[in-house]
Structure formats: C-alpha cells, structure tokens
Amino acid sequence: MNTTTTPQDILILQRQAPYGSSIAREGLDFILTSAAYDQNLSVLFLTDGVFQLLTNQNSKAIGLKNHAGALEVLPLYDIENLYAVSEDLMERSINPSDILAGVNIINREQAKQLIEQHTKVIGF
C-alpha cells in the first residue's frame, strides 16, 4: 500500500478584509495548515482581501492580532507565491509600496490565468 501523496498545486483566494469577520483569519490558518503538509501553495489577494496586505495595520485598538504580521511568516513555510490584483489595490486607494514586500502585483487577466493554472482553488 502506497501511503505517499503527491503535493497538489493549490491556489488560495483571500477575498475578505482582515478584520470584521473571522473569514480572513480562517483562510490564513488554512494556508499555514496546508503548508505543514507540503502542498504547493499560492495565495491570491483580491477584492477586499488586498487590505490584508497593508503593512501599517494597528489592530490593538480592536483587541485582535495584527494580520499582516502573520502573513510576513509565510516565506518561512515555503509559501512565496503571493499575488495581489492591481485593479483591486487601485480601487481601494492602496499604493503598492504600502503592502508587504514580495507580493507580485498582477492584473485581473493574469489573475484569471493564475486560477486556471491550479488544480485546486479554495476561496475565503
């Protein structure tokens, strides 16, 4: 009996703002858990999910952990394929210089192609 599994190419869609609901945090927890199982992960931040990437977050006033701080550790888990949709950043007046370093900025057409390239796509 073969018990080894082949890693899958999984794309995680992060569409929720970091605070206001638990969905963004659940997505991050899923990403970290999947990384522990040696899956090939990419993460696409789109729509309000691009707010997760802001580096100047101060969540102490609402009693929550800083979401961006948790995202900064993703490279330690070999999750280096991070993407943000340029149009979503622009629509929310987010300057690319204000987001986490190492995030690839792509347009909507490239995001569509990225989704099509993955064997599994999971949205949060």
Q: Dig out the tokens for 91 from the structure.
A: 């629509």
As given in the structure block, the two tokens for residue 14 are 């992060």
pLDDT category at 89 given cuts 50, 70, 90 is: very high
Q: How confident is the model at residue 72 (pLDDT cuts 50, 70, 90)?
A: confident
Domain assignments of the chain as residue spans, ordered by start: 9-123
Pick the CATH number of 9-123 from 3.40.1260.10, 3.40.640.10, 3.40.50.10320, 3.55.40.20: 3.40.1260.10
Q: HSE (CB half, 13 Å, CA atoms) of 77?
A: 24
% of the chain at pLDDT higher than 90: 64
Q: Considering the chain, what is the average pLDDT of its residues?
A: 89
> Greater confidence, 57 or 31?
31
Q: What is the mean pLDDT of residues 70-93?
A: 93
Q: What is the pTM of this model?
A: 0.87
> pLDDT digit string (tens) for 7-51?
569 999 999 999 888 899 999 999 999 988 888 899 999 999 999
pLDDT value of residue 88:
99
